[in-house]
Amino acid sequence: MNMATETKTPETRIWRATVLTLFPEMFPGPLGISLAGKALAAGLWTLEARDIRDSATDRHRSVDDSPAGGGPGMVLRADVLAAAIDAADGARARPKDRPRLLMSPRGRPLTQLRVVELAAGPGPMIVCGRFEGIDQRVIDARGLEEVSIGDYVLSGGEIAALALIDACVRLLPGVMGKLASGADESFSDGLLEYPQYTRPQTFEGRPIPEILSSGDHAKVAAWRRAEAEALTRARRPDLWATKNSGQKPPKDTTDG
């Protein structure tokens, strides 16, 4: 029966996020609200939060220990985490293409390109670290792809996982409806998005740029394009350089 499920085309398979965490009560959390929450309730995607502690084997259900070689803090044990990963795999036949991610400040920075790829797949398994991190051997043995959400350090991987899942879910078919295609947004064309305005017509003496009320769609489009380019040049010279190198942004191939 599982076989039949897994041979379905990606279009008919429901996108599924499996999160391995010491704090399953943090899920769905903010993902239970608004766009993502409505889609979750409607069955457009599914979320499974699994407690890593359920895979602890000793009397105290311990999941961490002090770092080999000394130093501060604690490290998540390889044996416990590997058992948690295997149990999650076993609970449901793992599609070959299902990425196994580890949220980690050492990881490859998450990009919209990778988000699009993850949203198009079956949905990832995501390991959330805590304490000083996790034993390197489980990263190697289970082929975890380390993903960072930015150059700063969180206290745990859960908020990073929520951010990653949120970015994916809004791209799933039917989630944003006809309101937005994502095609016009920041990063979609290697550019940051142009400024947006709505009523009132004048706010604290600041009018909406005249051209936006002109009704001339071509002029509006040209204005938006110019604004997007100016913003990108000023704020993200790195994106601007990539865009003008004539190359596509580097394609991620690492896949758990």
Q: What residue is closest to ligand SAH based on CB?
A: 129
Pairwise CA distance, residues 128 & 62, whole Å: 16
Pairwise CA distance, residues 122 & 6, whole Å: 10
In angstroms, give the least distance from the CB of 79 to ligand SAH. Answer: 17
Name the residue nearer to ligand SAH (CB basis): 76 or 231: 76
Residues of the shown chain interacting with ligand SAH in the complex, contacts defined by CB under 6 A: 103-106, 128-130, 132-133, 148-150, 152-154, 156-157, 160
Pinpoint the alpha helices (H) of the chain: 2-7, 34-41, 78-90, 112-120, 136-141, 158-169, 217-235, 237-244
Name the residue nearer to ligand SAH (CB basis): 71 or 246: 71
Token digits for 32? 């239970």
In angstroms, give the least distance from the CB of 158 to ligand SAH. Answer: 8
Name the residue nearer to ligand SAH (CB basis): 164 or 192: 164
Question: What is the DSSP code (8-state) at residue 64?
Answer: E
Name the residue nearer to ligand SAH (CB basis): 106 or 235: 106
In angstroms, give the least distance from the CB of 93 to ligand SAH. Answer: 26
Cα angle vertex 78, ends 77, 84, to 5°? 95
In angstroms, give the least distance from the CB of 160 to ligand SAH. Answer: 4
